[in-house]
A and B are shown apart, each in its own frame.
Chain A
Amino acid sequence: AAGVIQSPRHLIKEKRETATLKCYPIPRHDTVYWYQQGPGQDPQFLISFYEKMQSDKGSIPDRFSAQQFSDYHSELNMSSLELGDSALYFCASSLEGDSGNTIYFGEGSWLTVV
C-alpha cells in the first residue's frame, strides 16, 4: 500500500539559511500534519491542514510556515534556520471520516543545521 512520502530524506543547511520539506500524503487522504522530533524526544506537533486550510496549530515557530496545495501535498518552509532546528521532521496524513481518522507517518526528513 502507498505510504506517506517525504523529501528530501536528508538535508544539511547552514545557520540563517532556508529549507523546504515536501510531503505527499497517502492517496485520498485529506489531512496533513507536520511534527518535529529532536534526538531522544517525542514528536512535537507543529501544524495541520484539512482540505488545504490550516486546521490546527501547535508549537510551530514564527520562522516556519506551511501550506497544503490543490493536489493535497504539503510543504514546510523554514527560514532563518537555527542550530536548534536540527531534528527529524515527520509528515503524517489521515482521511477524515465518520469512524474517526487514523494517522499514518512518513519516514521523516533529517534536517541538520550547521
Chain B
Amino acid sequence: NAGVMQNPRHLVRRRGQEARLRCSPMKGHSHVYWYRQLPEEGLKFMVYLQKENIIDESGMPKERFSAEFPKEGPSILRIQQVVRGDSAAYFCASSPQASGYLSNTGELFFGEGSRLTVL
C-alpha cells in the first residue's frame, strides 16, 4: 500500500550545485503538487502538474527552479545553482482528481518530504 514516495529524504548540496527531488504519486493519482516549507513557516505552494503538463506554476521562483511530470516516471523538482535560501523541506502531494485545485474536496496525500540543506 505505497503512499506518495519522495526521494531522497535528505539531500545536502553546496552552493552552486544542482538538486533533483523525485516524487512518485500514489497509484492511480495523476495530479501532483509541490510545496516548500521553510523552517518555522507554513507550506508554500510551488507548482501543480498533471501528466506531461504544468497546470499552475505561480508559486515557482522565476529562475533556477523547474518541475516536470513525464508520461512515465516520477515527478521531478529541479533546483539549479542552489543557494542557502533554498534550504527547506520540499513536500510533494498527489490526488486522484484535481482535489487540490479548483475543487471542494481539498484532500491531498503528502509524501514525507525531501529535506534540502545547502552548505
Instruction: Answer yes or no: do A and B interact.
Output: no
Contact surface of A with B, Cβ cutoff 8 Å = none
